Structure 1
Amino acid sequence: MSAQESIPVWLDCDPGHDDALAILLASHSQRIQLLGISIVHGNDTVEHCAKNALRILWACGVKGIPVYKGIQRPLVREPKFCPEIHGIPGEQGVAGMCGYHFPDDIIFSDPNYKVEDTHGVLAMATAIKANPKKVTVVLTGAQTNFAFAIRMYPELKDNIEKVIFMGGAIGLGNTGIAAEFNIQIDPEAASIVFHSGLPLVMIPLEVTHKVLVRNNILEKLANIDYEQATAPECTNEKKDLEKLPHRHLEYREASDAVERRKRMQLDSQKAVISKLTRFSSKFAECFYQLLTFFQTTYCKEFGFESPPLHDPCTIFYLTHPDSFQTLSLYVDVETGSEKCLGRTLCDINSLSKQQPNVLVCTDIDVDIFWKNMLHCLQLASKLSPMNNK
């Protein structure tokens, strides 16, 4: 891909702290043309998540990206939200995304930051059909909106380049014993997508759990305006990432989870660092506080000393696919089991004899990811109205 080429992208999400960083990365990556954002149920209600998307776009100084409210519940099940990780809006005087109090009176009085009237599914379908180039669809929440779109408008598939989604796991889940949250809350929608015949790229927990917001990253974020703004080079040379036999992926994830739980039981609060009192800008303070809130909840719920930043991995894959290791696998979704509902069944040993339908990521170059993320954070800070004196 030449430097002049851009990738048309439709983002479907449920902000969500990690979705917020996915929005930032998508809107400040020079090779991405972000066509629009549709909101799906998940981390919170569609109403709250849509407002969060607008808050983040405002904080990043981005105008002209339309936001649409999509489907408010799973296709056939009752909705399930995630307040234990992303917080409950309104608690402790927090407006919107827990961890930072956004100036809603300023944001929502600006006509550039209004939710569009068109339904998210219709807006997605219209944008994909109308675009002169094939569109890449990125899903960082439940797959309800997209499943509904390709069922209502099957002709969309002709103008879709690929679908990249954060969700599922090769092994253990996170909010279910066997399932990952995004797939678990609407497994029927995921099943439609998995069997759509479209090129699919799955970024599972095994990969996103490597992209940790460690204390050194938080320190760089607090001083983001002083960091070097050099974008990482995108080359065709693959870095030697850790290689494990396929059958060992699940067992390592299990071992890691046990160790995290042991640390949490010893003293979960040791993982939460003290809040800094100095920041290079208001923007830096905002995103630092958002991620330290995320750190606190992940420590409490899962024993992570540093929280995994799941959703931006999808955007990073778009611009740096060679920074990932992958396997072509047949993957299905469990929709009939009460105990294993939503589990992604990754046939790593080809026992089903089915043709692979998903390109499953198994590793990521974390160093390049953070160089790219910090670069885009600094670009966003330069444009942010939060820094206006």
Structure 2
Amino acid sequence: MTNSIPVILDTDPGIDDAAAISVLLTDPRFDVRLITTVAGNVSVAKTTKNVLKLTHFFQRADVAVARGAEKPLIKPYQDAANIHGASGMAGYDFAEPTTQIIQKPAVEAMRDTLLASQEKLTVVAVGAYTNLAMLLQHYPEVQAKIDRVVVMGGSLSGGNMTSVAEFNVFTDPDAAKIVFESGLDITMIGLDVTLKALLTAESMVTLSQMNLTGEMLTGLFRAYGDGSMQAGKPMHDVNTLFYLLSPEKYTIKDYWVDVVTTGPAIGATVADIHAKTHQQTNIHVATAIDAAAFNAWFLLEIAKIQDAAIAPGKLEN
């Protein structure tokens, strides 16, 4: 694909993940080299099944999918089924997928994909960062093949799991610490912007009447326990893709960001805002977003998806 961004996506679908994957699989500006799954919003068995449901829905059997970590590095695993439903993608009855995972664990698939690439790849991580941390620990030689890492996670302004911790980092703070201190070029798209990038009630009405993909996403959003249909729904993971395509719509500040791995603040991402403890920075942090531009872009992305190009299921009762 000419002028497309070569991407490895690491994900834990999840309803907002499903929205991001819908864009990733249908926008030719993304060249999807691999999708890997991890335990996060629901178990890795369910997140893997959900990715396959989506690659089947969008008829993208060409996209390699690999199953990843079943649990965090150290911290006990806890899911977010209360937000995303028991399956992880409540609200829509997808057709049984015919797409299948590759017979290679996620970390090895990531390594092989990176080393085989003629160009550097962008890694987008929108679940717990367990797979990515294990990749960097076991195969440090891949760092030379990673152009940049864009993560959904973290927050400088308060959490959604605890008063200070965002879910993805809270799920595996030890992995987040390894990734953040890796020396890679990392951009953190956290709650500071994703809680502002709400898909508005007006946008959701438009989406529901748009096409079969819009119908599918509306079903998911109605079952999504984050935000509300009236006040708006946060599209956390989709922001990573909007950032890659339109970085000018975000305000970015560079900080040294530490990850707390023990105690009552576990999972907190603490920025050295006043440059008191570090002489360098390690993370580009998104702090503001043009939310109206995000809504307009997302609707345009979904509007472009042709009904004939998908294999639909049906809305859940």
TM-score (ref. length: structure 1)? 0.77
**Aligned AA (2:246):** H
Q: Distance in 2 between matches of 1:367 and 1:61?
A: 31
Q: Partner of 1:82 in structure 2?
A: 80
Q: Cα–Cα, structure 1 residues 160 and 304, in superposed 2: closer, same or farther, change >3 Å? A: farther
Q: Partner of 1:118 in structure 2?
A: 104
- Is structure 2 residue 90 aligned with structure 1 residue 127? no
Relative to its length, the structure with more strand (as a share) is 2
- Is structure 2 residue 306 aligned with structure 1 residue 371? no
Question: After alignment, is 23-32 or 324-333 more displaced?
Answer: 23-32
Q: Partner of 1:177 in structure 2?
A: 163
Question: Which of the numbers 322, 341, 356 marks the counterpart of 2:281?
Answer: 356
Aligned partners of 1:43 and 1:82 also within 8 Å: yes
Q: Distance in 2 between matches of 1:353 and 1:175?
A: 27
Q: Cα–Cα, structure 1 residues 340 and 64, in superposed 2: closer, same or farther, change >3 Å? A: same
Q: Partner of 2:181 in structure 1?
A: 195
Q: C-alpha offsets along residues 156-184 of structure 1, whole Å, 9 cap, x if unaligned?
A: 01011000000000021101221001001
- Is structure 2 residue 255 aligned with structure 1 residue 289? no
Q: Distance in 1 between matches of 2:244 and 2:33?
A: 15
Q: Distance in 2 between matches of 1:44 and 1:77?
A: 16
Q: Partner of 2:256 in structure 1?
A: 330
For residue 103 of structure 1, give the secondary structure of its aligned residue in structure 2: coil
Aligned partners of 2:199 and 2:295 also within 8 Å: no
Q: Distance in 2 between matches of 1:304 and 1:341?
A: 32
**Aligned AA (1:318):** L
Q: Structure 2: state its 5+ residue gaps.
A: none
Aligned residues: 313
Q: Distance in 1 between matches of 2:267 and 2:226?
A: 21
For residue 298 of structure 1, give the secondary structure of its aligned residue in structure 2: coil
- Is structure 2 residue 71 aligned with structure 1 residue 146? no
Q: Partner of 2:148 in structure 1?
A: 162
Q: Distance in 1 between matches of 2:258 and 2:47?
A: 28
1:255-270 paired onto structure 2 within 5 Å = none
Q: Give the C-alpha shift of residue 64 in structure 1.
A: 0.7
For residue 184 of structure 1, give the secondary structure of its aligned residue in structure 2: helix
Q: Partner of 1:8 in structure 2?
A: 6
Q: Partner of 1:309 in structure 2?
A: 235
Q: Partner of 1:385 in structure 2?
A: 311
Q: Structure 1: state its 5+ residue gaps.
A: 90-95, 226-280
Q: Give the C-alpha shift of residue 381 in structure 1.
A: 4.0
Q: Distance in 2 between matches of 1:377 and 1:351?
A: 45
Question: Which of the numbers 198, 202, 207 marks the counterpart of 1:216?
Answer: 202
Q: Distance in 2 between matches of 1:13 and 1:343?
A: 20
Q: C-alpha offsets along residues 272-323 of structure 1, whole Å, 9 cap, x if unaligned?
A: xxxxxxxxx4x332211101111xx2258xx983221100101111111111
The alignment's C-alpha RMSD in Å is 1.9
Q: Give the C-alpha shift of residue 66 in structure 1.
A: 1.2
Q: Partner of 1:53 in structure 2?
A: 51
**Aligned AA (1:298):** D
Q: Cα–Cα, structure 1 residues 306 and 370, in superposed 2: closer, same or farther, change >3 Å? A: closer
Q: Distance in 1 between matches of 2:184 and 2:35?
A: 20
Q: Partner of 1:102 in structure 2?
A: 94
For residue 380 of structure 1, give the secondary structure of its aligned residue in structure 2: coil
Q: Distance in 1 between matches of 2:42 and 2:184?
A: 28
Aligned partners of 1:9 and 1:135 also within 8 Å: yes
Q: Partner of 2:21 in structure 1?
A: 23
Question: After alignment, is 133-142 or 20-29 more displaced?
Answer: 20-29
Q: Distance in 2 between matches of 1:324 and 1:146?
A: 25
Q: Give the C-alpha shift of residue 197 in structure 1.
A: 0.5
Question: After alignment, is 372-381 or 23-32 more displaced?
Answer: 372-381
Q: Partner of 1:228 in structure 2?
A: none
Percent identical pairs in the alignment equals 34
Q: C-alpha offsets along residues 72-109 of structure 1, whole Å, 9 cap, x if unaligned?
A: 001112111001101113xxxxxx621111222xx2xx
1:217-232 paired onto structure 2 within 5 Å = 217-225=203-211
Aligned partners of 2:200 and 2:295 also within 8 Å: no
Q: C-alpha offsets along residues 359-379 of structure 1, whole Å, 9 cap, x if unaligned?
A: 001111223222322222123
Q: Distance in 1 between matches of 2:174 and 2:42?
A: 19
Q: Give the C-alpha shift of residue 17 in structure 1.
A: 0.3
Aligned partners of 1:24 and 1:380 also within 8 Å: no
Q: Partner of 2:67 in structure 1?
A: 69
